[in-house]
Amino acid sequence: MRSGITLIIIGVCMFGAGLILFYFMEVTDDEILENIRNMGTFVGLSGMGVTLAGILLYLINKNTEPIKENYDT
């Protein structure tokens, strides 16, 4: 259960870093800044995937109570 929460936190941080890299870089003719901006896109999309994987892992490993049947009626 801890690994799911850890993945969610890492994914949100990756998504935030991707947003920062993508939106705070000015569009210029500089090749290096353009590559950094493209990396921001990749990191942001990867962060979304990691967050989704963390949510699914959390839900799969969640302990659910067994169904209690009442047969006395």
Per-residue model confidence as pLDDT tens digits over 18-73: 999 888 887 778 888 888 888 999 999 999 999 999 999 999 988 777 777 777 65
> Is residue 69 in some structural domain?
no
Strands in 3-53 per DSSP E: none
Predicted pLDDT of residue 8: 93
Q: Is residue 67 part of a domain?
A: no
> What is the predicted pLDDT for the residue at 26?
79
User: Is 14 contained in some domain?
Assistant: yes
**Closest to 3 in 3D by CA, of 66, 44, 58:** 58
Q: Tell me whether residue 8 is in a domain.
A: yes
Q: Which residue range(s) make up the domain with 48?
A: 2-60
> What is the structure's pLDDT at 21?
87
In a domain, 19, yes or no: yes
Q: Could you give the number of structural domains in the chain?
A: 1
Q: What is the pLDDT of residue 51?
A: 96
Report pTM.
0.76
**63 Ramachandran zone, left/alpha/beta (phi>0; psi -120 to 50):** beta
- Residue 52 lies inside a defined structural domain of this protein: yes
